[in-house]
Amino acid sequence: MKPIPERGDELILTCRDCSKPNSMKIKSVKKNAQNEDGSWCYTVKAVCNICGFMNGEYRPIWYNFYKIGVIDF
């Protein structure tokens, strides 16, 4: 897990629309707030490979949630 997510990176997530886990490409990254451990919290959007749903559009996906490598989906 990289400390800073980048567009084009892939994350394995369970799609909020079709509920199928798959490796999704990150389409957008937004820096959000600094965590207690000095890492930064980002919000990302990622497109489902199966149904094309944009995950993170309505409910954010947090990347580096308190600790590097933690994703709150």
Among 50, 68, 70, 71, binds Zn ion (CB under 5 A): 50
What's phi and psi for 10, nearest 5 deg?
Answer: -115, 140
17 is a site residue for Zn ion (CB under 5 A): yes
23 is a site residue for Zn ion (CB under 5 A): no
CB of 57 to Zn ion, least distance (A): 12
**HSE-CB for 67 with a 13 A CA cutoff:** 1
Q: Is 69 exposed, middle or buried (0-12, 13-18, 19+ CB in 10 A)?
A: exposed
18 is a site residue for Zn ion (CB under 5 A): yes
Report the residue number, 20 or 31, with the smaller CB distance to Zn ion. 20
Among 32, 35, 40, 53, binds Zn ion (CB under 5 A): 53
